[in-house]
Each structure stands twice: as C-alpha cells, then as structure tokens.
A and B are shown apart, each in its own frame.
Chain A
C-alpha cells in the first residue's frame, strides 16, 4: 500500500475520469452491490435479533391468551394507529429521498430526508406520550403495577410491550441520527447519480424499522378487541 488510496473518490459526480470506487472493487456497480449486500446481511441479523422478542411474545400469548387480551385493551388504538400512519408515511418520504438521490436532485433529497426526520420525531413524541400514560395508570411492570384482573400475567404483556417498543424506538433514534448526517452531506452535494449508497442503505434500515412496527401494532394493540 503506497500513498493512500490513489484515485479513490467516493464523491462520484464531480470527478470525471477519476475512479469513483475503492481499489478492491472492479467497478462502481460492484462497490454499490457489495454495500447493498452487506446491509441486507445486517438486516437479516436484525430480523433474528427482534425474532427472539417475537418468539417470547408468541410463547406467552399462547400460554396466557386471556391476560394478554385484557392487557392489550389498555393500549391506545388511536395513538397507535396514528403512529402507524406516521411511520409508513416516513417510509414513503424516505423512498422519495432515495429516488431524489438516484436522479441527482440535491434539494429533493434534503427536503424529503428532513420530512423523514420530522415524521420520525412525531412518532417518538407520540410514543413518549403513550409511555407517560402507562406510568400514570400504573401499568409499568414492577412494585407499583396495578391491574384489575390477572395482574401477574398482564405484567408479562407490559414487559414485552416496553421492551419491544423500546427497542424499536431505540432503532428510530439511531436512524434519525444517521438521517441528520445524511441531510448535512446531501446539502453539501455529496450524493448524486454516481454515488448514493449511504442514502439507499439508510433507506433500507429505515424501512426495516417500519416493518417491525407493522408487526408490533396488530400484535400489541389489536388483540382482544372484539
């Protein structure tokens, strides 16, 4: 290895003639495809990471269906449904931001990345309000837990509720931080038609977090409603 990565210019567009990829790749497409594949391997791992919690949920719901149904009725369908719309909306704005990057439209990227961040923050704000309600209603597992019914097993439901939605919210906080960096970079013109891998990969992550919520909403909020 000599003086750095000669000819490496990950900024793409600006450098006609210069290589727009690192030296271990055959082409820019090769580099982009490798980055995509790496992200998908990470997401496959994330599926199993959340999978353990979905398994715990399935086992306990099978064992205590009545307690789960009673406990689920204490969740707020209006707030949960609103958040579902907000989060799927943020996936739409994210997809459009990636579209903007693919076409090399700088301000389209910036505006839709900012919209995605905004919707992500709305989701987290509503989640914080919901958590607040649960604290006031003594529905947080622990010594102050109060529940009219099968309290012991309802605590299992609420433990799963807080861990699953909490881990999901943590993923969103990380996603919003990454989106913040992307906005900054995109505004500087870092991404264009020749190089937009970071925007696309962040999009994959964001959509994955959306998918987790698509399962969490019916499984946590919508049982025992009829």
Chain B
C-alpha cells in the first residue's frame, strides 16, 4: 500500500489548470463587457449562461469530476436537479400568479 494506493485517481497536468484559469479570466471579462451592452431581457440570461459555463469548468477540471466515478456524477447532478426544481416550481407560481385576476374582482 504505497505509491500505487491512488493509482485510480487521475492526476491532471498543471498546464490544464493554467488553461482553465485563463478561460475563467476571459469569461469574467466577457461577463463584465456584456453587462454594459443593452440586450434587454437577454442581459440576465447572458450573465447566468456565462456563470454556468464558468461553474462547469471549475467542476469538471478543478474539482476533477471529469475523471470521477459515475456515482460522483450522480450526486453532483442530483444537487443541481433539486436546485432546478426549487427554482422552476416556485417561479412557475410567482410568474403566473396574476394571470387569472382576482376572483370576484
């Protein structure tokens, strides 16, 4: 039980980490740049989309999920699945609340 103990773990090269860091910096600059352009409703969408891409890079490479077991993928996906349910179902209520008007009013 010595050197081989974690042979199952993938050891990513530092070059990869530097490339991911550079991509994250470029995306940070992009998100600031886009915020100053008037896209109407699309501004919020662009901000969230860029943040999702950045988070995905961090999760896949810095957090090694790209090289992790299917069980890890399942746990990560379940976290985001339940977050999506939380946001989607609540917003479905908030957004549609006024659609039918007030009864009797």
Contact = CB atoms under 8 A, between A and B. Distances in A.
Interface of A: 12-13, 15-16, 18-21, 27-29, 32-33, 36-37, 40-41, 43-45, 47-48, 51-52, 54-55, 58-59, 62-63, 77, 81, 84-85, 88-89, 91-92, 94-96, 99, 102-103, 193-196, 200, 203-204, 207-208, 210-211, 214-215, 217-219, 222-223, 225-226
Interface string B20-33: 11001100100110
Interface residues of B, number: 56
A16 B55 CA distance: 40
A12 to B, nearest CB: 7
A207 B50 contact: no
A222 B21 contact: no
Contacts of A210: 58, 62
A211 B35 contact: no
Given A51-B83, A51-B86, A59-B90, A99 B12 contact: yes
Contact of B32 (A77, A88, A96, A99): A77
Contacts of B58: 91, 207, 210-211, 214
Contact of A62 (B61, B63, B95): B95
B5 A194 contact: yes
A195 B35 CA distance: 45
A218 B47 contact: yes
8 contacts: A18-B1, A32-B6, A85-B25, A95-B62, A193-B3, A194-B5, A214-B55, A226-B37
Given A13-B2, A43-B79, A81-B32, 16 more contacts: A15-B1, A29-B8, A32-B6, A48-B86, A51-B87, A55-B86, A55-B90, A59-B94, A81-B28, A99-B11, A194-B6, A196-B6, A210-B62, A219-B51, A222-B35, A226-B35
Contacts of A217: 28, 31, 51
B80 interface: yes
Interface string B70-85: 0110011011101100
Contacts of A77: 32
B43 A102 contact: no
A96 to B, nearest CB: 6
A165 B85 CA distance: 24
Contacts of A52: 86
Contacts of B21: 88-89, 91-92
Contact of B83 (A19, A27, A47, A204): A47
A166 B51 CA distance: 20
Given A16-B2, A37-B71, A43-B79, A58 B55 contact: no
A118 to B, nearest CB: 17
